[in-house]
A and B are shown apart, each in its own frame.
Chain A
């Protein structure tokens, strides 16, 4: 039985984090989405995942962090595109907090109950994101005004240098790939966007920007419904590098890019394509031998995804409603599964079942109530247990009211953050953990078939045991001292040191234009390197690719 206790510094830190987390949640819920689907019972699965996350995730995080620190996970996620990133780490914490909200509002918890679990979840999120966002040094993308600059300069330089200048054929291929990939990914993830993550925008000078688009879980992966569907899609994770001119962009905590103009595709000036996973420490070029190779690869991938979309659509259309709800729950629950994979402790059976404590609420969460509950908790912030004192103004709802010019009454004093009462410092009757005996306290079952195929990696297909062994044996100089600590603040002053040069050369090993160029490159050098290779520097290209594009790069 845990005797963990919280001190005042931790309590204040925790409550501050809970409030900021909730501000980000409410902001995104109010402005970013309309939760609905004609195909999937999205609202029931969205509410039901919250319970499973509450009952199981703290112990799953303890299991993984016993092997690997949250900081290590953050560095890994920054160096290659995993499914664990912005939106999935956001989900890992927020689904838990939303489960807490649901249980609080049902009268089954007090705010201080299971406070050690709460600390574990917040601590993991804070530390993972601090490492993941090491360069930008923001916890939340919203804190940097919706720009998500995660990649290191050494990675971005390769992306910039190696991207192929877009002619109309490449532009069309990239647009088609993005559209089909986005659609296919929404379907894989039961209408959710947790398999899609963008980063950037990154400055290229003039009115040029670069951003990346990650498409994850595209092949046979941790979802049983991808067995025999994703097998014809060659790559599980793909990262599209997109250079644009005269496009403005924001990227949210949910990893979605919104552009102005909305149809930005005609303003794409350069494209690159890569794959990676947690068993690679760098981005591996895909179809990057020539522009024509890239066009052909993007078109081939598009055809693969188009056919897989049809197969997957039919698979889902044969499911029962309860199976579809479970698929949605597992999609969200597995947001965090990379932490177990990274640590080499992944067990599929731990990630695909419904806890019996969650199952209590299954029938209550009909379609309409689930939507009403979502709106009540995360937009309207109303209800019997939602009020703060009569003077309270919520920072987001008040901001909406203020920006509307004060139309209508000042918003009611609803609050969703559910802070921990300070009386906990004086000792009260509350449990520390939801599972006093760990994961063995969690029991449940599943209506979906068990996963039966291997998992897809850059190095090929691996069984669960092979995957865990490969994860435990994985190492990279990028993750060990001294390179691990060569952040951009170090590079700024020490770019001529041989150790730093070696780290950049390691990153450039598969680069078509920067191989062995080292760490002292700046943009002007990259532009000269492109010109020397017979390609236009990005600053040479006028909007709309007015200058002739070389016949073949």
Chain B
């Protein structure tokens, strides 16, 4: 059976290598399986013979092939956003935040270690950095409490990872997301000063003291629609 959509007149390339190779592997398998179906009617195949077009075994096999091909071509395992993926499958994943891009110090004014989009305008905060990346760390802080005056550094713009302890931070620096992300929405509701989408000249270190310019005007929520961005709020090391 000739596959009905195998040869579109217009095409666009996929934006990433993984999207391209996954589409190629899956689509090619479906086309090959369709050819094995002889004179079968497409409508019967879609409805009743779906597992002959693409089976669970096809999916499982291709997942392994794609990983192998990806690792060979890209030289790394898959990125994972969530912690549990790395814990359960350390062979398959590396945490995306481990690979966070650090910019050159030349990208920032002298004495500035980073900047971000302000979720809302508040007073500047000076405090000690506490990096929170793991569920077990959050679990410990639920029991022991967050020390006073701490600026939490979070690499997740979601609203759940630090849910039980977020209001206990003096302020937050988030290495991802936008001012429309769930974390920014919740931070505004709690009134916890928060920078989103933070870029750094170097990694921040647990216990180091910084001042964050939360008095900077809040980032324009429409900026992601091509309109003007407001000034980013700066992070300045103390001492």
Known: A34-B176, A382-B15, A429-B42. A186 touches B156 (CB 8 A): no
A414:B84 contact, CB within 8 angstroms:
no
8 Å CB contact of B63 from A184, A310, A366, A404: A366
Q: Which of B100-108, B144-152, B182-190, B202-210 contacts its partner?
A: B182-190
Which residues of A10-50 are within 8 A (CB) of B? 30-34, 36-43
Which residues of A390-406 are within 8 A (CB) of B? 390, 399-404
A364:B189 contact, CB within 8 angstroms:
no
Q: How far is the CA of A110 from the CA of B2 in the complex (A)?
A: 13
8 Å CB contact of A403 from B62, B157, B226: B226
B121:A262 contact, CB within 8 angstroms:
yes
Known: A175-B189, A321-B84. A383 touches B63 (CB 8 A): no
A400:B226 contact, CB within 8 angstroms:
yes
Report the count of interface residues on B (CB-CB < 8 A).
96
Which residues of B76-105 are within 8 A (CB) of A? 78-85, 88-89, 92-93, 97
Residues of A close to B62: CB separation below 8 A: 364
Number of A-B contacts (CB under 8 A): 285
Q: How far is the CB of A507 from chain B (nearest CB, A)?
A: 30
A106:B224 contact, CB within 8 angstroms:
no
8 Å CB contact of B161 from A39, A314, A373, A385: A39
Q: How far is the CA of A372 from the CA of B74 in the complex (A)?
A: 15
Report the count of interface residues on A (CB-CB < 8 A).
93
Q: How far is the CA of A315 from the CA of B23 in the complex (A)?
A: 36
Q: How far is the CB of A43 from chain B (nearest CB, A)?
A: 7
Contact with A along B57-82 (1 / 0, CB 8 A): 01110111011000000000011111
Closest to A196 in B: B185
Known: A37-B161, A38-B83, A400-B226. A186 touches B186 (CB 8 A): yes
A366:B78 contact, CB within 8 angstroms:
yes
A371:B81 contact, CB within 8 angstroms:
yes
8 Å CB contact of A368 from B18, B47, B121: B18
Residues of A close to B138: CB separation below 8 A: 313
B27:A40 contact, CB within 8 angstroms:
no
Which residues of A168-193 are within 8 A (CB) of B? 175, 178-180, 182-184, 186-187, 190-191, 193
8 Å CB contact of B46 from A256, A386, A400, A431: A431
A186:B159 contact, CB within 8 angstroms:
yes
B158:A108 contact, CB within 8 angstroms:
no
8 Å CB contact of A388 from B10, B56, B167, B222: B10
Q: Could you jot down 26 A-B contacts, CB within 8 Å?
A: A31-B180, A33-B182, A39-B83, A41-B85, A42-B158, A107-B27, A113-B43, A179-B167, A179-B190, A182-B159, A182-B189, A262-B119, A306-B164, A309-B163, A310-B164, A367-B80, A367-B85, A368-B18, A369-B78, A371-B81, A373-B19, A381-B12, A385-B11, A387-B12, A400-B225, A404-B226
7 new A-B contacts, CB < 8 A, other than A37-B158, A38-B155, A182-B189, are A37-B81, A107-B31, A183-B190, A186-B182, A262-B221, A382-B14, A403-B227
Residues of B within 8 A of A (CB): 3-6, 8-16, 18-19, 22-23, 26-27, 30-31, 41-44, 46-48, 50-51, 53-56, 58-60, 62-64, 66-67, 78-85, 88-89, 92-93, 97, 119-122, 133, 135, 138-139, 142, 154-161, 163-164, 166-167, 176-182, 185-186, 188-191, 218, 221-222, 224-227
